[in-house]
Amino acid sequence: MKKISRRSFLLNTGLAVGATTTAATLSSFVPIKSIKKYDGKKLNIALCGLGNYAGILADGFATSAYCNLAGIITGHPAKAEQWKKQYNIPDKNIYNYENFDTIAQNKDIDVVYVVLPNSMHKEYTIRAAQAGKHVICEKPMATSVEDCEAMIAACKKAGVQLAIGYRLHYEPYNLELKRLGQEKVFGPVRLIEASLGYNVTDANQWRLHKALSGGGPLMNVGIYCVQCSRYVTGEEPVAVTAQFGPVTNATLFTEVEASVMWQLEFPGGAVANCSSTYNCNVDRVFVSADQGQFELSPAISYGPFVGKTSNGPLNFPDINQQTAQLDGMGKLILANQPLPNHITGEEGLKDLKIMEAIYASARTGKKIGLV
């Protein structure tokens, strides 16, 4: 059987993958719509880390109205040269990890977008903030609650904004899931089933090394199931129980879990049954409420998405999620307006608290309270 790389699987099937405290915040948030063409100043962003996802973000920059790919930070000279040529990046905007801090003197860079392995998010978010740059950090925000808190504190001290790359907060199908759940269109939500995973075969990828990833599929793709459960209900979970799946490949899964299942309990009575895995390809969300159901499959990935409700199919435009996220964040930063809570560091911290509780429950077999 032909092996499929993670990148090609994500692009071909839509798998991959990128909440709030109140229903009003998420329900009122809508995707950026181009009423008239924006031709003003663009936000200049430097990508820190040039892995696979950085290339996908570069495609998003190509159609962004508000953001410009202006710089790069990489430890690989060959990559730096390639990106310089491909994206017309000037030498003065190209940095490595040793001279990165000198970016503080570069007035042509407004934001650093951290796209490094998870365990490096804290260091480079803090260094970017200390250089006076706004920060967008990919999910998960960090590998521990303590690191998240340190990142938030550093950005506040430096007077810069910190955003987390929750691209699905700008995606029409997922915005509709939020609306249907939080506005109780089919009555109170009772059950959420969310699963996301893909088949891992490459033993060399950094996501299988806990020192870099902080964990297995939960940290990588399971965070989207946590997110979806929260933004469908508009509530914060009060308790979690969890179980690790079997170690299906002792060579691959020596440091991180192969799969994990968990159950979140919400104060309004809803229960979310979720799973994340490196053993198979899955991407779905199903929600049952008192008077009906709604679902997406593919659901919480790159799309294209397919959805339906008890009233019929869902039909929304397929968008470039990275472009929508960049424009949604960039427009506000350019206007010196605060970012909404649902994409800030505080949101990333909430997810880490829940994921740490999921791991604790899976290790101990006990229900973990979240309040």
Residues carrying an active site annotation: 139, 224
The length of the chain is: 371
CA 122 – CA 113 distance, rounded (Å) = 12
- Determine how β-strand 307-309 pairs with β-strand 292-296: antiparallel
Radius of gyration in angstroms for the set of CA atoms belonging to the chain, rounded to a whole number:
20
**Which residues lie closer than 8 Å to 154 by C-beta, 6 or more apart?**
125, 126, 129, 130
User: How many other C-beta atoms can be found within 10 angstroms of the C-beta atom of residue 225?
Assistant: 29
Q: What is the DSSP letter of 77?
A: H
User: How many other C-beta atoms can be found within 10 angstroms of the C-beta atom of residue 85?
Assistant: 9
CB-based burial of residue 370 (10 Å sphere; 0-12 exposed, 13-18 middle, 19+ buried)? middle
**Which residues lie closer than 8 Å to 336 by C-beta, 6 or more apart?**
none
Give the DSSP H or E segment for 134.
strand 134-137
Is the four-CA dihedral 114, 120, 125, 131 of positive or negative sign? negative
Do 195 and 225 touch, CB atoms closer than 8 A?
Answer: yes
Closest CA to 252 of 201, 199, 197, 213: 201
